[in-house]
Amino acid sequence: MSYPRYAEYKESGVEWLGEVPGHWEVKQVRYFAEILRGKFTHRPRNDPAFYDGDFPFIQTGDITGTSKYITEFRQTLNERGVAVSKEFPKGTLVMAIAANIGDVAIIDFPAYFPDSIVGLAPKSRSILMFMFYLMQAMKQPMLMTATVSTQMNLNVDQIASLSVASPSLSEQSAIATFLDRQTAKIDALVAEQEKLIGLLKEKRQAVISHAVTKGLNPTAPMKDSGIEWLGEVPEHWEVKRVKCFTKSIEQGWSPLCEGFPVESFAEWGVLKVGCVNDGIFNPLENKSLPNELEPVPTLGIVAGDLLISRANTRELVGSAAVVNENYCNLMLCDKLYRLRLVSNCCLPEFLSRYFGITSVRGQIGLSATGASSSMLNISQSTILELISALPSISEQQLIVRFLDQETSKIDTLITEAQQAITLLKERRSALISAAVTGKIDVRGESF
């Protein structure tokens, strides 16, 4: 849908604004809002000297960039924490100036904040919801003011000095009302696509799980596997531990590498653990080996190697993927296991699919160890002692081909839904920017 433009425009003198309606003013951000700075310097998340009290505490991770309001908190401060922090009142627009910088939300309760967040309290010349949308439109101009040390940070003083377009209070209200309604419609469409993606992923998981544990023949006689979490399997399949058809298992080497991947097969690199995260091997997930370090050619990976994540988050530890071609210049890291299987017993592509099903993921998770959920470990025995039901090699080949075809169809639908979400979000951002900078006149559309 197209919207009318204002009758008269003038040059704003500000690059990111361009032309603005003739009756709008151009003002600095500080004209719209009082900027409140958080004071609490980061402490270890579980430090009892500051946390676990009665006072709501918001961190940058709570500002998701997708929710308009923050209605609940995950962490609290005690009296000592409060003494070195800053309280923002209910209704404050909060913005991350580190980590997910530029993301904004409105707090629905009084809360305390660290120095990685600033609050913007509307002055009499601005309306909260208009300011919320204005800050979203300003994200890219604000990022241009960011400084980089150990991480990117926004400069608060420069933010306050940025110029924005200032309509009257009544016009701000009309714009905010219009955007509330239109963004709600877009968000509902995004939610529908996200729900569809969730259902497609569930279907994908179910198709794989059924194929690698029940086979493709619905009339095949079944037997009890003897394993509660595995249940019944086809009568002619063999129930074995992974170690029974594994020739070798090893982990690699993780030297201090460069922060960028290799550019050609002539360079040596070390794989990152993320190369197996999606169940499909991604060779771009690597780091270049410094020239002064000697490579270990025996750690180079080749087609048919089954790689399994040894150390990762609970959701990702044990992720598996098969190397699809020779990458002899990319070496195994010590957070990955490499399995080479007995070729006449098990296809790596079959076992890789098996490692991705929910019941197997659950067994791997039960065996994972580690003090932090952000980095868990599994031992070689976790992999080797895992139970699997195996058909013949010829039947495994049929199952793998079937799954390649079926999952490809589902993946195409997922990709289409993801592309639709991207377009909807782009439309949302463009609409917000056009409205708060006066490129469209929505005064007649707000009711």
Does 225 fall in a domain? no
Report the pLDDT value the prediction gives residue 133, as an integer from 0 to 100: 94
Closest CA to 157 of 149, 167, 147: 147
Indicate whether 83 and 101 sit together in one domain.
yes
Indicate whether 179 and 269 sit together in one domain.
no
- The domain tally of the chain equals 3
b vs e for 271-287, b when ≥16 Cβ sit within 10 Å of the residue's Cβ? bbbbbbbeeebebebbb
Does 221 fall in a domain? no
Indicate whether 7 and 50 sit together in one domain.
no
Q: Which of 368, 390, 412 is the last residue before a domain boundary?
A: 390
Give the H or E element holding residue 107.
strand 104-107
Report the pLDDT value the prediction gives residue 46, as an integer from 0 to 100: 60
How many other C-beta atoms lie within 10 A of the C-beta of residue 329? 19
Indicate whether 306 and 415 sit together in one domain.
no
Give the H or E element holding residue 26.
strand 25-28
CA dist 316 and 107 (Å) reads: 32
Indicate whether 158 and 191 sit together in one domain.
no
CATH at residue 254: 3.90.220.20
Does 257 fall in a domain? yes
Q: What are the DSSP calls for 434-446, one per residue?
A: HHHTTSS--TTT-
- Give the tokens for residue 223: 């037997």
Closest CA to 113 of 73, 151, 162: 73
Does 224 fall in a domain? no
Does 222 fall in a domain? no
Q: Which of 130, 145, 166 is the last residue before a domain boundary?
A: 166
Indicate whether 251 and 381 sit together in one domain.
yes
- The residue segments making up the domain with residue 97 are 27-166
Indicate whether 19 and 154 sit together in one domain.
no
Report the pLDDT value the prediction gives residue 65, as an integer from 0 to 100: 76
Percent of the chain with pLDDT over 90: 62
Does 63 fall in a domain? yes
Strands 86-88 and 111-113, bridge-based pairing:
antiparallel
Report the pLDDT value the prediction gives residue 1, as an integer from 0 to 100: 66
Does 97 fall in a domain? yes
Report the pLDDT value the prediction gives residue 52, as an integer from 0 to 100: 84
**pTM for this predicted structure:** 0.84
Indicate whether 317 and 379 sit together in one domain.
yes
Do the Cβ atoms of 249 and 383 come closer than 8 Å? yes
Indicate whether 379 and 241 sit together in one domain.
yes
How many other C-beta atoms lie within 10 A of the C-beta of residue 427? 14
Q: Which residues of the chain have pLDDT under 70?
A: 1, 42-47, 146-152, 371-373, 446-447
Angle at 106 between CA 104 and CA 110, to 5 degrees: 130
Strand, coil or helix: what is 368?
coil
Closest CA to 27 of 143, 147, 161, 157: 161
Do the Cβ atoms of 306 and 388 come closer than 8 Å? no
Report the pLDDT value the prediction gives residue 445, as an integer from 0 to 100: 75
CA dist 415 and 420 (Å) reads: 9
Do the Cβ atoms of 98 and 116 come closer than 8 Å? yes
The sign one gets for the Cα dihedral 209, 213, 214, 215 is positive
Strand, coil or helix: what is 426?
helix
Strand, coil or helix: what is 86?
strand
Q: Which of 146, 166, 186 is the last residue before a domain boundary?
A: 166
Indicate whether 204 and 260 sit together in one domain.
no
CA-CA-CA-CA dihedral for 39, 42, 47, 48, to nearest 10:
10
Does 223 fall in a domain? no
CA dist 328 and 351 (Å) reads: 23
Give the H or E element holding residue 200.
helix 169-214
Indicate whether 323 and 418 sit together in one domain.
no
Indicate whether 152 and 171 sit together in one domain.
no
Tell me which DSSP letter residue 290 carries. P
